[in-house]
Amino acid sequence: MSGGLNLMLVGAPGSGKGTQAKRLVEKYNMPQLSTGDILRQAIKDQTALGIQAKEFMDAGKLVPDELIMGLIEERFGHADYQNGWILDGFPRTMPQAEGLSALLDRTGKKLKHVILLDVPGEAIVERIVGRRSCPACGNVHHVRFSPPKSEGICDACGGALVQRSDDTEEKVRVRFGQYESETASVIPYFEPLGIVASVDGQQSADEVFAAITGILEG
């Protein structure tokens, strides 16, 4: 595929964004831009913006949108971002969507696709609440969709499987509510551009990936 495939993946927690982003990175050889990752890297590298971000985080405050935009603009200047990129989990709010549009205009870049992984709330709850992970090796099972051969035991290493503390039903419903009230509202912002496409996220990972690549290459 020719260069400049700039896309944004949108979906609730547990919708499969991470899985699909990883596959897209491998297929199209372009970087995934996660604001969490670039924040951590900037802090590790002790860049000017990274030092500022750390001060906010150390004080228990949210990193301002302007600082996040600065980090993204920095990253856009890297050589590996010239042939396209995948925005994962950003923008989350309307001010961030507006800030991203201004940044793209300023840097001469264009968002080509906004892919929404559509999964109903109840399915999200079932997906996340049923997850069991192995602290020893990182392997993940699901009590319904991919149960271990022996209950509570990791197939990969034999370690004890646990439910993450933030994977309880109460916390998942709070996270989904936040997604619906904030992130889902950014979709209409991009719809007038004719670049938004919805994919049924309840299909298998292979079917979802085929649908996404069909949109990108169609």
Residue 57 falls inside a structural domain = no
pLDDT tens per residue, range 188-209: 999 999 999 999 999 999 999 9
Residue 61 falls inside a structural domain = no
Torsion angle defined by CA atoms of residues 88, 93, 97 and 99, in that order, rounded to the nearest 10 degrees: -110
- Report how far residue 50's alpha carbon sits from residue 52's, in angstroms, rounded to the nearest whole number: 5
Annotated catalytic, 17? yes
Q: At 2, is the pLDDT very low, low, confident or very high (cuts 50, 70, 90)? A: very low
The one catalytic residue in 17, 75, 109, 127 is: 17
Annotated catalytic, 92? yes
Annotated catalytic, 109? no
Question: Would you say residue 51 has pLDDT above 80?
Answer: yes
Residue 53 falls inside a structural domain = no
Q: What is the CATH number of the domain that holds 124?
A: 3.40.50.300
Residue 50 falls inside a structural domain = no
Segment 72-84 shows an average pLDDT of 90
The one catalytic residue in 27, 44, 110, 164 is: 164
The residue assigned the tokens 């892919």 is 115
Q: At 183, is the pLDDT very low, low, confident or very high (cuts 50, 70, 90)? A: confident
The one catalytic residue in 54, 112, 171, 175 is: 175
Residue 194 falls inside a structural domain = yes
The one catalytic residue in 75, 127, 131, 132 is: 131
Distances (CA, A) of 206 to 89, 165, 177, 209, 213: 21, 29, 28, 5, 11
Residue 44 falls inside a structural domain = no
Host domain of residue 89 = 5-31+78-217
**For the chain, how many structural domains are there in total?**
1
Q: Encode 32-41: b = buried (16+ Cβ within 10 Å), e = exposed.
A: bbbbeebbee
For the chain, helix, strand, coil in percent to 5 are 50, 15, 30
Q: At 130, is the pLDDT very low, low, confident or very high (cuts 50, 70, 90)? A: very high
Model's pTM, two decimal places?
Answer: 0.85
What length does the chain have?
Answer: 218
Residue 212 falls inside a structural domain = yes
The mean pLDDT of the chain is 92
The one catalytic residue in 75, 92, 109, 132 is: 92
pLDDT at 1: 40
Annotated catalytic, 164? yes
pLDDT at 89: 82
Residue 164 falls inside a structural domain = yes
